[in-house]
Amino acid sequence: MKLVEWLAKHVTDDPRALRWFGEAEADDRIARAFQELLAGYEVEPATILKTTRRLEPGERPGVVEVTEIAFYSLCAHHFLPFFGHVDIRYEPGDRILGLGKLPRLDDAYARRFQIQEDLVRDVAHEMMSTGRARGVLVRSRAQHLCMCSRGPSNHTAITHAEFSLGTLAVD
């Protein structure tokens, strides 16, 4: 079964469109591109976060944040990419986490079929459970190609979703 058949049946039978996908390796090439955008399913998020050091008894930690983490995701409704940036802010619980792991955590949840509101929720919960954070605030801003490429009022629009838990919960 080939993508060109789906295209021809559901989207367009214009031969100028279909001719690009007749060749043998077309489906493989496309599949590889989508596999990279869906690589998050291969990762177990609970294993990503690493401890840089344990807090000492009674130690009061400062707040830590990684901002401008780029992400790419696939809209679960339209099979088109959405992408943007995420900021993850947390207050350490019993450990300081490796800073470089926070983008990896975000990547593991983004490279799936997602909706933006669930992406920030999933990351926040993981920071609390396996990251043992006292509090977390995850904010994202994105462009959705299912949205900005359609209709006259949409293509400058920026979508925002945020989620917070624990000591950093926004009421």
Q: How far is CA 42 from the centre of its chain?
A: 14
54 in contact with a copy of itself (CB under 8 A): no
Give the closest residue to 85 by CA, choosing from 133, 143, 128, 127. Answer: 143
Smallest distance, Å, CB 130 to a copy of itself?
A: 19
Q: Which of residues 21-40 bind a copy of itself (CB under 8 A)?
A: 27-31, 33-38
Give the closest residue to 157 by CA, choosing from 82, 48, 73, 68. Answer: 82
Give the closest residue to 140 by CA, choosing from 78, 79, 66. Answer: 66
Give the closest residue to 67 by CA, choosing from 137, 153, 144, 151. Answer: 137
Choose which of 48, 121, 135, 168 interacts with a copy of itself (CB under 8 A).
121
Distances in whole angstroms, Cα of residue 101 to Cα of each of 7, 25, 71, 117, 144:
39, 36, 14, 21, 26
Q: Considering the complex, state which of residue 97 and residue 130 has its C-beta at the smaller distance from a copy of itself.
A: 97
128 in contact with a copy of itself (CB under 8 A): no
The number of residues that bind a copy of itself (CB under 8 A) is 89
112 in contact with a copy of itself (CB under 8 A): yes
Smallest distance, Å, CB 95 to a copy of itself?
A: 11
119 in contact with a copy of itself (CB under 8 A): no
Q: Which of residues 69-108 bind a copy of itself (CB under 8 A)?
A: 69-72, 76-81, 83, 85, 89, 92, 96, 98-100, 102-104, 106-107
Give the closest residue to 112 by CA, choosing from 71, 69, 73, 70. Answer: 73
